[in-house]
Amino acid sequence: MSVLVYTESEQNKLKKAAFEVASYAKAVADQLGTTVTAVAINSGDTSELGNYGVDKVLKVSNSDLENFNAKGYADIIKQAAEAENAKVVILSSSADSKYLAPLLAVGLNAGYASNVVEAPSSISPFTVKRSAFTNKAFEIAEIKSDIKVIGVSNNSFGLVENSGSATAEDFSPSISELGVTVKSIDKATDKVTIADAEIVVSAGRGLKGPENWGMIEELADVLGAATACSKPVSDLGWRPHSEHVGQTGKPVASNLYIAIGISGAIQHLAGINASKVKVVINTDPEAPFFKAADYGVVGDAFEVVPQLIEKLKAFKAQ
Amino acid sequence: MKILVCISHVPDTTSKINFTDGDTKFDTNGVQFVINPNDEFGLTRAMWFKEKQGANVTVVNVGGAETEPTLRKALAIGADAAIRINTPATDGFSVAKQLAKVIEDGGYDLVIAGRESIDYNGGMVPGMIAGLTGANFVNNCIGLEIEGTSATATREIDGGKETVATSLPLIVGGQKGLVEESDLKIPNMRGIMMARKKPLTVLDPVDAEAGTRSVSFEKPAPKGDVKLVSPDNLDELVDLLHNEAKVI
Ligand SMILES: Cc1cc2nc3c(=O)[nH]c(=O)nc-3n(C[C@H](O)[C@H](O)[C@H](O)COP(=O)(O)OP(=O)(O)OC[C@H]3O[C@@H](n4cnc5c(N)ncnc54)[C@H](O)[C@@H]3O)c2cc1C
Ligand SMILES: Nc1ncnc2c1ncn2[C@@H]1O[C@H](COP(=O)(O)O)[C@@H](O)[C@H]1O
């Protein structure tokens, strides 16, 4: 009756989010007095999972699933849950995990809580806290079904190290028809994605035009951060849609969010409120973002950002 | 082609979020309700299928009578018919079960729902419908073309996008990109008049067990005041981020 966790990988390497969900699974397993089993698909070396509390890894190698397929992956995790008699299944909040989670929940006839931000406050009844109303509130939800599926919000639980070791076993579930085939993938592999990033550097209409994004990218580079933008910036075509964050764009749950030339409209803030520390750089001291931020600089981005880059370079060189 | 668009009735994006009854209920006082933004993109895409490929478009909501103005708005935008399943939407799993029944009875080829609702943020209803009906499923869909029973869809992935091939019947979790903001239709007078004559069928719910129960709501703790740093003293900002906030 272990807790099952799906640990995601990318190009045969476990993602950082895999260690966070493993840490979360360990916390739940401790509450339930049981062990943690991970299921890893085409993952390469998984021994590091032991450091985050995983006792056993079910390793699946399947060349038909080199590309992510929600139905195929949900099928595998379902069979792993059944094999382990798992009552709780933990996933991350990546686009892929959110895609497969509802299919898995139906397969296991399980209640599913997404965007969960803390370890369960109680296991009987099974109660979790999740963000709702696009980060404007939290919902305390009880999962009523026998089996529970939990999607953990990225960066909400963090990594918790645990000295242990994980045994590995091959696992060969049967895969039914996939129904959806990947034709092409268009992805910048050398860039940090908003979903994975610990730091996000974001800029708005205050930057005046797409030609001014050089300094934003440089700042992001120095910090190892992902770049993002406000909605009008992507609507104007200054930046790709995939960078649009906010209520109608991507959610951001980074440790640090730096907003440059962004006014702080309610719809923008809704999407980034889950970020832990917020910095605003804006010429207008009345900009609403100052009410939502932890640190602020009232100043011209074209002067402040280049200086900040220099200061950060000096700091990193120390 | 028969298309069903799932419409979630949600507070407008500018709404102040408050709770009543000991923080167990969303306070609808003074709140304007709208079509969930992700669903609005899907509805407009469905209108294009109707205009260019002769599709028939039905909209559906699981909810009480208070959601009917939102369904009427969808009819005014151009949907042919509306269905309301008369039961409060309290949990994604039970909503998906209600919708799955309508989909099976209606024989829809394509179901467009939103990637997520902006109130519950479950991100679960479209995937659960797919799980329940066995139809193909593409989430975070930002582009969709259909020829006969074959479909090509583009979906947003972390850090980029992916193009996939699939076939009908198909369930889509849609978002901006299916159409652009500037493509969204604002209902005109004629649309509003016509909507009054279009059928809005109220169906009784089926038995559908919920997976979760909402116990209560909390608002985030109020934030302390912002610490201002002078633009001439950015060393201080670096120091604060390193030593105080511990994020760099
Ligand atoms: C239904 C709906 C959904 C929406 N969803 C989203 C969403 O998901 N995400 C989102 O971002 N928006 C969203 N919006 C739009 C939102 O309301 C705002 O219009 C938008 O966030 C404003 O973007 P901005 O801050 O870049 O631009 P502006 O509001 O134009 O602000 C620019 C800021 O830059 C500052 N500035 C100007 N020059 C400089 C300079 N040299 N240096 C520093 N600062 C400078 C100005 O003082 C100003 O504060 C939505 C709106 C609606 C109606
Ligand atoms: N009560 C409902 N009635 C009809 N469709 C719904 C309802 N709730 C959710 N949906 C659909 O499912 C999508 C995702 O909702 P959710 O799972 O709540 O995030 C929404 O964008 C709608 O398309």
Structure confidence by residue, pLDDT tens digits, B11-51:
999 999 999 999 999 999 999 999 999 999 999 999 999 99
Mean pLDDT of chain A: 95
Token code pair at residue B55: 């599709």
Nearest to B132 by CA among B110, B168, B113, B104: B104
- The pLDDT of residue A138 is 96
- Would you call A279 an interface residue with chain B, using a CB distance cutoff of 8 Å? yes
Q: A229, A245 in Cβ contact below 8 A?
A: yes
Q: Tell me which residue in A189, A270, A294 faces B227 most closely, judged by beta carbons.
A: A294
- The pLDDT of residue B153 is 98
Mean pLDDT of chain B: 96
- Would you call B212 an interface residue with chain A, using a CB distance cutoff of 8 Å? yes
| Number of C-beta neighbours around residue B239 at 10 A | 14
Minimum-distance ligand 1 atom for the alpha carbon of A233 = 26
- In 3-state terms, chain B is what percent helix, strand and coil (to 5)? 30, 30, 40
ipTM of the shown complex: 0.94
- The pLDDT of residue A195 is 86
- The pLDDT of residue B28 is 95
Q: Do A248 and B38 touch (CB under 8 A)?
A: yes
Q: Do domains A2-170 and A199-317 have the same CATH topology?
A: yes
- CATH code at A199-317: 3.40.50.1220
Report whether CATH 3.40.50.720 matches the domain A2-170. no
Residue in chain B nearest A312 by alpha carbon: B238
Q: Reply yes or no on whether the pLDDT at A209 is more than 90.
A: yes
Mean pLDDT, residues A129-144 taken together = 95
- The pLDDT of residue A188 is 78
**What is the layout of strands, in order, in the sheet containing A199-203?**
A226-229, A199-203, A256-260, A277-282, A295-298, B227-228
What total number of domains does chain B contain? 1
Q: Do A184 and B162 touch (CB under 8 A)?
A: yes
CATH number of the domain where residue B70 is located: 3.40.50.620
- Give contacts of A 226-255 with B, CB under 8 A: 235, 241-242, 244, 247-249, 255
Q: Reply yes or no on whether the pLDDT at A110 is more than 90.
A: yes
Distance in angstroms (rounded) separating the CA atoms of residues A64 and A52:
29
- Would you call B152 an interface residue with chain A, using a CB distance cutoff of 8 Å? yes
Q: Reply yes or no on whether the pLDDT at B222 is more than 90.
A: no
Is residue B150 situated within a structural domain?
yes
- The pLDDT of residue A1 is 83
Residue in chain B nearest A303 by alpha carbon: B231
Distance in angstroms (rounded) separating the CA atoms of residues A282 and A173:
54
Q: Tell me which residue in A102, A266, A280 faces B127 most closely, judged by beta carbons.
A: A102
Domain ranges of chain A: 2-170, 199-317
Ligand 1 binding pocket includes A231 (Cβ within 6 Å): yes
- The pLDDT of residue A40 is 98
Range of the domain at B8: 2-219
Mean pLDDT, residues A144-168 taken together = 95
Look at A250 and B2; give whichever has higher pLDDT: B2
- The pLDDT of residue A244 is 93
User: 3-class SS at A107?
Assistant: helix
Least reliable range by pLDDT among A119-123, A145-149, B194-198, B222-226: B222-226
Token code pair at residue A273: 């409120």
Is residue B240 situated within a structural domain?
no
Q: B177, B138 in Cβ contact below 8 A?
A: no
The pLDDT > 70 percentage for chain A reads: 100
Structure confidence by residue, pLDDT tens digits, A3-47:
999 999 998 999 999 999 999 999 999 999 999 999 999 999 999
Nearest to A179 by CA among A104, A73, A107, A96: A73
Structure confidence by residue, pLDDT tens digits, B61-79:
999 999 999 999 999 999 9
- Strand A9-10 and strand A56-60: the pairing is unpaired
State the DSSP string of A37-102.
EEEEES-S--GGGGGBT--EEEEE--GGGSS--HHHHHHHHHHHHHHHT-SEEEE--SHHHHHHHH
Structure confidence by residue, pLDDT tens digits, A167-194:
999 999 999 899 999 999 998 777 888 9
Distance in angstroms (rounded) separating the CA atoms of residues A46 and A79:
20
Mean pLDDT, residues A290-315 taken together = 97
- Would you call B168 an interface residue with chain A, using a CB distance cutoff of 8 Å? no
- The pLDDT of residue A190 is 75
Q: Reply yes or no on whether the pLDDT at A141 is more than 90.
A: yes
| Number of C-beta neighbours around residue A290 at 10 A | 19
Q: A120, A35 in Cβ contact below 8 A?
A: no
| Number of C-beta neighbours around residue B163 at 10 A | 14
Helix (H) or strand (E) holding B59: strand B56-62
Is residue B152 situated within a structural domain?
yes
Side-chain-facing half-sphere of A137: CA atoms under 13 Å: 24
Q: How confident is the model at residue A82 (pLDDT cuts 50, 70, 90)?
A: very high
The pLDDT > 70 percentage for chain B reads: 100
Helix (H) or strand (E) holding B245: none
Q: Reply yes or no on whether the pLDDT at A135 is more than 90.
A: no
**What are the φ and ψ backbone dihedral angles of B41, each rounded to 5 degrees?**
-65, -45
Chain B residues within an 8 Å CB radius of A106: 93, 96, 127-128, 131-132
Is residue B76 situated within a structural domain?
yes
A41 is in an annotated binding site: no
Mean pLDDT, residues A252-270 taken together = 96
**What are the φ and ψ backbone dihedral angles of A222, each rounded to 5 degrees?**
-60, -35
For A198-231, b where at least 16 C-beta lie within 10 A, e where not — what string? Answer: bbbbbbbbbbeeeebbebbebbbebbebbbbbbb
Q: Reply yes or no on whether the pLDDT at B83 is more than 80.
A: yes
Chain A residues within an 8 Å CB radius of B217: 132, 137-140
Is residue B245 situated within a structural domain?
no
- The pLDDT of residue B53 is 97
- Strand A277-282 and strand A256-260: the pairing is parallel
Distance in angstroms (rounded) separating the CA atoms of residues B7 and B111:
11
